[in-house]
Amino acid sequence: MAQLSVPTVDYTEYSNRQLVAIPLALLAVALLVIGGWYLATGAPANLGLEFVGGSELRIDDPGGNAEQQIEAAFSAEPESIRQIAADDTYIVSFSQGVVDTADGETQLTVLEEQAEAAGFSIQSSSSVSASFGSNTQTIALGGVIVAFLGMSLLVFAMFRSVVPSIAVIASAFSDVMLPLAMMNLLGINLSLGTVAALLMLIGYSVDSDILLNNSVLRESGDFYESTSRAMRTGVTMTLTSIAAMAVMTVSAFAFGIQIMTAIGIILVIGLLADLMNTYLLNVSLLRWHVNRGVKR
């Protein structure tokens, strides 16, 4: 059976500045993308219906030129039209307030009437109010903040030192920011599912960083021996996770499961970022800490 071989990196060939250059440069680009998105849209990413409110219809495949038929059937332009190939259906989403309604009517009611008038067979329909979406935003943001606070307290309690704690926090922060920026560039909405993927990345990041910190700060051996030992386990673990997520992404895309495809893409990007941040950014900060700022 083939085994994964993790090559040994000779960190003595690189200074701490060289190690942090690429992670910090990519983080800066990611923050520019997210900041630009916020200035343009008022949000750090494209928000899904769960966060802004809206309506969603699930209809049977109407046949040839399906997307053109769907667009022509409604008085408002759909926010998105997603095909679910596995069961020959389409999910049509509309932002809140895009449809004119009369007294006693809701946006969802009007959309259902328009779909039926066009001859579409509606399997299901749902709606999220703008106020509920705002509350969901607050809860999701609170979840991310609590995750970071909990992670920070745990790491500080384990190592009782500021620098290792900062290394873990910085790595986890970058692991979240890089996929978030790529979500904007790839057109992936921020939804409850993708927020869950970002929270998973925080867990992955803490796991790999604690493995490295524990090996360097608590186990026997010099810095480079300890780092190499942690890499053999950490890189193998992360690459295995990346392979599993890649398979999931391809499978979900083939079956038209959009949310699972989005989660898979986010996790693959985030895990690749974690490899970089753990074994470049975190290693450089730990080496500085162990050698008390001595240049190498």
Provide the β-strand partners of residue 94: 55
* Residue-level pLDDT at 162: 84
Q: Whole-model pTM? A: 0.83
CA 132 to the chain's CA centroid: 22
198 and 67 co-located in one domain = no
* Residue-level pLDDT at 45: 87
Structural domain harbouring 141: 11-48+132-290
Q: Indicate which CATH number applies to the domain containing 117.
A: 3.30.70
One pLDDT digit (tens) per residue for the chain, 296 residues = 345 667 778 888 989 999 999 999 999 999 999 999 999 888 888 888 878 788 888 888 888 888 888 988 888 888 888 877 767 888 888 887 778 777 777 888 888 888 889 888 888 888 887 676 778 778 888 888 888 788 778 888 887 788 888 888 899 999 999 999 999 999 888 888 899 999 899 888 888 988 998 888 887 778 899 899 999 999 999 999 999 999 999 998 888 788 899 999 999 999 999 999 999 999 999 999 888 744 44
44 and 61 co-located in one domain = no
User: Is residue 76 included in any domain, yes or no?
Assistant: yes
167 and 84 co-located in one domain = no
142 and 248 co-located in one domain = yes
Residue bearing tokens 């690429």: 22
* Residue-level pLDDT at 2: 47
234 and 124 co-located in one domain = no
Among 128, 157, 189, where does a domain finish?
Answer: 128
220 and 114 co-located in one domain = no
* Residue-level pLDDT at 254: 84
* Residue-level pLDDT at 4: 63
User: Is residue 3 included in any domain, yes or no?
Assistant: no
243 and 283 co-located in one domain = yes
**Length in residues, the chain:** 296
Quick check: 279 and 235 in contact, CB under 8 A? yes
Burial-class residue 137 by CB neighbours within 10 Å (0-12, 13-18, 19+): middle
Give the CA radius of gyration of the chain.
23
DSSP H or E segment with residue 80: strand 80-84
User: Is residue 151 included in any domain, yes or no?
Assistant: yes
User: CA geometry: angle at 45 spanning 134 and 75, to 5°?
Assistant: 70
Among 109, 128, 147, where does a domain finish?
Answer: 128
User: Is residue 166 included in any domain, yes or no?
Assistant: yes
Q: Indicate which CATH number applies to the domain containing 228.
A: 1.20.1640.10
User: Is residue 97 included in any domain, yes or no?
Assistant: yes
* Residue-level pLDDT at 264: 95
Interstrand relation of 54-60 and 89-95 (parallel, antiparallel or unpaired)? antiparallel
109 and 58 co-located in one domain = yes
Contacts of residue 113, defined as CB under 8 A and 6 or more positions apart, other chains included, come to none
60 and 40 co-located in one domain = no
118 and 159 co-located in one domain = no
User: Is residue 1 included in any domain, yes or no?
Assistant: no
Among 87, 106, 128, where does a domain finish?
Answer: 128
Number of domains into which the chain is organized: 2
* Residue-level pLDDT at 28: 97
162 and 235 co-located in one domain = yes
User: Is residue 4 included in any domain, yes or no?
Assistant: no
203 and 183 co-located in one domain = yes
* Residue-level pLDDT at 3: 54
Structure tokens of 75?
A: 């008085």
